[in-house]
Amino acid sequence: MQNSFSCFDSGPVNGPDSPRALVTGGAGFLASHLCEKLLSEGFRVTAMDNLLTGNLANIAHLRDRPDFNFVHHDVSTHIHWTEDRLDRIYHFASPASPIDYLQLPIQTLKVGSMGTHNALGLAKATGARLLLASTSEVYGDPLVHPQVEEYWGNVNPIGPRGVYDEAKRFAEAIVMAYHRYHKVPTRIVRIFNTYGPRMRPKDGRIVPAFICEALKGEPITVFGDGTQTRSFCFVADLIEGIYRLMESDYDLPVNIGNPGEWTVLDFAEEIRRITGSSSRIAFRPLPQDDPKVRQPNISKAKEILGWEPKYKLADGLAPTIAFFKEQIAQGLA
C-alpha cells in the first residue's frame, strides 16, 4: 500500500520507559511522517486527530505497534491526557491547504487559537516541550525576499486567506506568551512548501495538482501568468529539520524549507517533462492575496541546527509521482 511509504526506519518497538510524544493532527500528511521519525528515535507516540482533513490510511501501517496509538479527538476542545508522562508535544493540527481552510474557515481559526491554547495548557500541566507547526504564510505576500525570520509579514487579515495566516500568527503569539509568562519550553517552526507521498490528490496545492493532471493527461492549471515563485522541500528533509529544532535550545521561530526557487510555470514544465506527459498548460486568474514570491532564508537552520535540505527535486519527486500513480490506479485521485 503506497500510504505506508516511509523515509524512516521505525526500528524495534519502544518500551514502557521510552519518552512519550503527542502529535496533534497526527493522521495528516506531514505529521504521519513525523510519527515515523519519532518512533525511529525511540519515542512512544500518540497521534491525535479529528480526521477533518487527516486520513487514517496515512498511519494504518503503524496502528498494530504497541508503542503507537491513535486518539480520535478535536484539540479545539479540552485535551484529556491519561498517561503518567508526556515529554514532547508536536502541535500540527490544522487545515493547511487553500481548499481546506477556505472551506473550513471557522475550524481553521479555532484550531489555531483554541487548539493551540489547549495544547499549551497540556504542556504546562505535564512539563512537556511543545513545538508549533507554523507556516511561511505568516509572511503573507512578502515585501522582503527571501524571507527571514525577523520579517513581520504583509498579511491581509480580512482577506479569504486571512483565516489561515492570522490563525498561525496568533498561534505563534500565544506560544511565545506561554513561553515568557509560564516558562513553558516551546519551539516554533515556519514550514515552507513541502511535498511527498501521502499528500491528498485534491488538496489544492501545486505539487499534487500538477502531478495528477500530468499523469491523467489533463491540462496543467497555472494560476496567474506563472511567474510567481515557490520553493519545494521534500518531506524527509523537513521532518529531519523539525526534529532537530525540537531537540535544540533555540526558542524563536526558524524557517525550514528548501531555498531552491522555481517559477510556477517552470515547475509545471518540469512535472510535464518528468512524467512524460503531453498535457497542455491552462492559465487561470490568480486567486486573491496569492503570494507572488516564496523562498526561505535558512541561515538560522544551518547555523543553529546544522540542517539544510539533502534531497534534490527530482529525487523527491520520484516517490511522490509513484504515490500518485497508485492513487490514480485505485481511483482515489
Residue 236 C-alpha from the chain's centroid = 11
Q: Band the pLDDT of 1: cuts 50, 70, 90.
A: very low
**Helix 162-181 × helix 116-126 angle, to 10°:** 20
Q: Which domain holds residue 300?
A: 2-195+234-258+295-310
Tell me which of 164, 178, 195, 243 is the catalytic residue.
164
Query: Quick one: pLDDT at residue 38?
Result: 98
- Is 164 one of the catalytic residues? yes
Q: Is residue 66 part of a domain?
A: yes
Strand pairing partners for 194?
233
Q: Is residue 301 part of a domain?
A: yes
Average pLDDT over residues 14-39: 96
Give residue-wise pLDDT tens across range 67-83. Answer: 999 999 999 999 999 99
**Which of 101, 146, 162, 128 minimizes the C-alpha distance to 289?**
162
The per-residue pLDDT of the chain, averaged, comes to 95
Give residue-wise pLDDT tens across range 122-153. Answer: 999 999 999 999 999 999 999 999 999 999 99
Cβ atoms within 10 Å, residue 127:
11
Find out whether 75 and 24 touch, Cβ atoms under 8 Å: yes
Give residue-wise pLDDT tens across range 205-226. Answer: 999 999 999 999 999 999 999 9
Average pLDDT over residues 99-116: 96
Q: Is residue 242 part of a domain?
A: yes
**Which of 323, 326, 332 minimizes the C-alpha distance to 207?**
323
Q: Is residue 163 part of a domain?
A: yes
| Sequence-ordered list of residues with C-beta below 8 angstroms from that of 149, at least 6 positions apart, any chain | 190, 252, 253, 254, 255, 297, 300
Q: Band the pLDDT of 198: cuts 50, 70, 90.
A: very high
Query: Quick one: pLDDT at residue 204?
Result: 86
Average pLDDT over residues 149-174: 97
What's the distance, Cα to Cα, between the start and end of the chain in Å? 15
Find out whether 135 and 168 touch, Cβ atoms under 8 Å: yes
Cβ atoms within 10 Å, residue 276:
8
d(CA 159, CA 58): 32
CATH number at residue 172: 3.40.50.720
Average pLDDT over residues 235-262: 98
d(CA 107, CA 76): 8
**Which of 83, 38, 31 minimizes the C-alpha distance to 247?**
38
**Which of 13, 4, 1, 78 minimizes the C-alpha distance to 45?**
13
Domain count, the chain: 1
- Strands 229-231, 261-263: pairing is antiparallel
Find out whether 34 and 59 touch, Cβ atoms under 8 Å: no
Q: Is residue 318 part of a domain?
A: no
Q: Is residue 70 part of a domain?
A: yes
Query: Quick one: pLDDT at residue 4?
Result: 61
Q: Is the pLDDT of residue 3 over 80?
A: no
Query: Quick one: pLDDT at residue 66?
Result: 96
Q: φ and ψ at 131, to 5 degrees?
A: -115, 125
Distances (CA, A) of 220 to 70, 86, 210, 261, 265: 37, 46, 6, 20, 10
Q: Is the pLDDT of residue 5 over 80?
A: no
Q: Is residue 50 part of a domain?
A: yes
The pTM assigned to this predicted structure is 0.96
Query: Quick one: pLDDT at residue 177?
Result: 98
Q: Is the pLDDT of residue 237 over 50?
A: yes
Q: Look up residue 108 and give its three cell numbers.
A: 481553521
d(CA 317, CA 217): 18
d(CA 48, CA 163): 23
Give residue-wise pLDDT tens across range 253-267. Answer: 999 999 999 999 999
Q: Is residue 201 part of a domain?
A: no
- Per cent of the chain over pLDDT 70 is 98
H-type helices in 182-301, by residue range? 206-216, 235-246, 264-275, 299-300
